[in-house]
């Protein structure tokens, strides 16, 4: 297994910025990273990879990224009180890899490449359903 390390992931801005996700927890089946964006912990993006199954026939590994969105904080009320920040909603992406134990490294490399590159290409068949909810096929 590769040594545990922080992750550097580009964000989705027009001019991407590399964001460092620091390891915050790990055990034999789960590693969790968090990007400290200055928000309370509940509002910070989190990524994790988890082994969900590893039996005689296959293993299942899940990659998950969660990006909370904070409520806009309003101004103070007449008594000078400002409500603490809170999470408005959470966006989540989950990718499951189910690998048969008979698969070769090359076959696993192909699966991984097709999955990642399918998301990376700017093809509307892939991006429109994800970004706009459009499934008009």
Q: What is each CA distance from 38 to 43, 69, 88, in whole angstroms? A: 9, 12, 16
Same domain, 96 and 127: no
pLDDT in tens, 64-92: 999 999 987 777 777 888 777 889 999 99
Same domain, 97 and 64: yes
Same domain, 71 and 114: no
In which domain, by residue range, is 14 found?
Answer: 1-75+85-102
User: How many domains does the chain contain in total?
Assistant: 2
Is there a contact between 52 and 60 (Cβ–Cβ < 8 Å)?
Answer: yes
Is there a contact between 114 and 106 (Cβ–Cβ < 8 Å)?
Answer: no
Same domain, 98 and 113: no
State both tokens at 14: 């027009």
pLDDT in tens, 11-24: 988 899 999 999 99
Same domain, 108 and 45: no
130 belongs to a structural domain? yes
95 belongs to a structural domain? yes
pLDDT in tens, 22-60: 999 999 899 999 999 999 999 999 999 999 999 999 999
Read off the pLDDT of each residue in 95-109 and give the average, rounded to a whole number: 96
Same domain, 118 and 59: no
Q: What is the pLDDT of residue 131?
A: 78
Is there a contact between 78 and 52 (Cβ–Cβ < 8 Å)?
Answer: no
CATH of residue 71's domain is 3.30.380.10
Helix-helix angle 105-120:124-131, to 10 degrees: 70
pLDDT in tens, 123-136: 677 777 777 777 65
Report the predicted TM-score, pTM, of the whole model to 2 decimal places.
Answer: 0.83
Cα(134)–Cα(128) distance, rounded to whole angstroms? 5
Same domain, 49 and 110: no
Same domain, 45 and 59: yes
């Amino acid at each position: 297994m590769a040594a545990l390390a922080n992750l550097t992931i580009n964000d989705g801005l027009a001019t991407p910025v590399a964001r460092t996700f620091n390891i915050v927890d790990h055990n034999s089946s789960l590693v969790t990273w968090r990007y400290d964006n200055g928000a309370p912990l509940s509002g910070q993006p989190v990524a994790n990879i988890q082994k969900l199954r590893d039996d005689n026939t296959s293993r299942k590994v899940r990659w998950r990224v969660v990006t909370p969105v904070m409520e806009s904080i309003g101004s103070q009320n007449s008594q000078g009180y400002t409500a603490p920040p809170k999470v408005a909603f959470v966006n989540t992406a989950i990718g499951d890899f189910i690998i048969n134990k008979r698969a070769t490294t090359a076959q696993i490399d192909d699966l991984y490449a097709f999955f990642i590159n399918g998301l990376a290409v700017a093809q509307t068949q892939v991006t429109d359903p994800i970004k706009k909810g459009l499934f008009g096929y």
